[in-house]
Amino acid sequence: MLVGLGIRDPIHGFICREPHEQEIVDCPTFQRLRRLKQLALANLVYPGANHTRFDHSLGEFHIAGRMAENLGLCAAETRLIRLAVLLHDIGHAPFSHVSEPILKRHSGDKIKLQPKQQVHELTSAQIILEDPELAGLILDSDRKKIVQLLTGDYGYRLFKEHRRDLAGLEEKHTLFGGGIETVAFENRGIRKRSALAHTMAAAGTAAAAVRTARKSVAVALRAVI
């Protein structure tokens, strides 16, 4: 159980971070994500859609830690997974995915993307490997493994090594088959939902509550008008 620094998240509650993780969060390279909206221009239509890549990265970081813990990964592997997810969007440009076509158009022949690969993924890997601030906080060997986790090159082997610890479980989805995905298993017909599945269920409940609140507000406004 983490006993490090905590930050209050509106969905996940307190998200704990160890001191070395907090140093990464505090560095300017990561703090830049506070200024990048997760939903690009959606806030122009939905004023409440103002959460950022910073918020998103912390939430994903928390979920990944819970998943690693549930899989029984060792402390070193859990640390790498948490850091990989924390930094997975570090290369996003302003307006997030909306700016991807612009970046691709103006990069020309300077970059070579793999099929289905996006520019921000390539940029994220480059920042993780070459940024001097991150280099001072994360070992070179760990930064290489983090990039391999994000691309699936290291994570898939990591998952396969732990499959022997999951006796009696039927594999439904790979954890790192092509990047970081969810895991769901069935054991004797009983579905065991991952931390992300629980989060998605909670988000669905929250969304339903929001819809109900909107209807209530609309009814109240009609009554006043």
Q: Which residues are catalytic?
A: 120
For the segment 43-54, the average pLDDT, to the nearest whole number, is 90
Which residue, among 135, 21, 26, 23, has the nearest Cα to 80 in the 3D structure? 21
**Contact between residue 25 and residue 72 where contact means Cβ atoms under 8 Å apart:** no
Percentage of the residues of the chain whose pLDDT score is greater than 90: 35
**pLDDT tops 60 at residue 189:** no
Most distant CA pair in the chain: distance in Å? Answer: 65
**Pick the residue with more confidence: 156 or 114?**
114
- pLDDT of residue 188 exceeding 70, the answer is no
- Fill in the amino acid letter for 39: L
109 — phi, psi (to 5°)?
Answer: -90, 5
- With 70 as the cut, is the pLDDT of residue 102 above it? yes
What CA–CA distance (Å, rounded) separates 205 from 203? 5
Q: Over the stretch 120-155, which tens digit does the pLDDT of each residue have? A: 888 899 999 999 999 999 999 999 999 999 887 776
- Domain 5-151: which CATH class? mainly alpha
Q: Cα separation of 38 and 35, whole Å?
A: 10
Asked whether the predicted pLDDT for residue 176 surpasses 70, the reply is no
What does the pLDDT read at residue 161? 56
Domain positions in the chain are: 5-151, 194-225
Tokens read off for 104: 């691709």
In the structure, what pLDDT confidence band is assigned to residue 168 with cuts at 50, 70 and 90? very low
Q: What is the pLDDT of residues 12-33, one digit of tens each?
A: 888 988 999 999 999 999 999 9
- pLDDT the model gives residue 177: 35
